[in-house]
Amino acid sequence: MDTLTSTEAALPSTYPRDFSFFYDYRTFLVEGYLFKFPINTLAIESEIFRTMMEVPAPSQTEGLTDENPIHLEGVLKDDFRQLLRVLAPPFKEPVPILTFSEWTSVLKLADMWCMDVVKEHAISNMNNLADIDPIDKIVVARKYEIKAWLKPAFNDVLQRSKTFTEDDVERLGVSTLLQLVALRDRLQLVKSYDEKFETTATSCIF
């Protein structure tokens, strides 16, 4: 009968994994493109991916090869790419500078996959961007319930001289646009009255 050496006998059948530095790379299929990314990083931020990791290894073969990737249905590849840029920026490269549109991609998936920390990070960075079309901010704020953006963005829309476009109507909705037009007209009347009053008062003084 074969006997085990002392070294062989001491070896456990499975070793515990240090998940801080044990990267479980999985292959994801998004819009016909393959992405390979450590699912650990996604699992840190999302219960959805944590649950995926908890499936026993013999039963979880999806994502282990390019031929059997994890299908992310309803996800755009550009959105997924921006999320991965934020979660794991390339080593020794500058922190990625994303546009408002790119941060919106991150926000979209963070909201979809309940990544609360990533969502707040995206909102914070978007809020610090300059020269953003206020209508873009209104659309995003409404969709993702960022209430702090709405009042300042509506005020910016009312203060600008630019006329509304068909695209604005489509994005804001007819009801909102009509209210904005009415408010703008009232503000212009008040402004015109104030200017007239100031001119009259000045002429009386001098």
Query: Would you give per-residue pLDDT tens digits along the chain (206 residues)?
Result: 455 555 555 556 578 877 677 888 999 999 999 999 999 999 999 999 998 887 765 557 889 999 999 999 999 999 999 999 999 876 666 767 899 999 999 999 999 999 999 999 999 999 999 999 999 999 999 999 999 999 999 999 888 777 888 998 899 999 888 888 888 877 666 555 444 444 444 344 43
Tokens 């240090």 -> residue: 18
Task: Kindly list the distances between the CA atom of residue 23 and the CA atoms of 26, 55, 86, in Å, as whole numbers in the listed order.
Answer: 9, 16, 17
**Which tokens go with 92?**
């020794």
Instruction: In whole angstroms, give the CA distance from residue 195 to residue 168.
Output: 30
Question: Model pTM?
Answer: 0.78
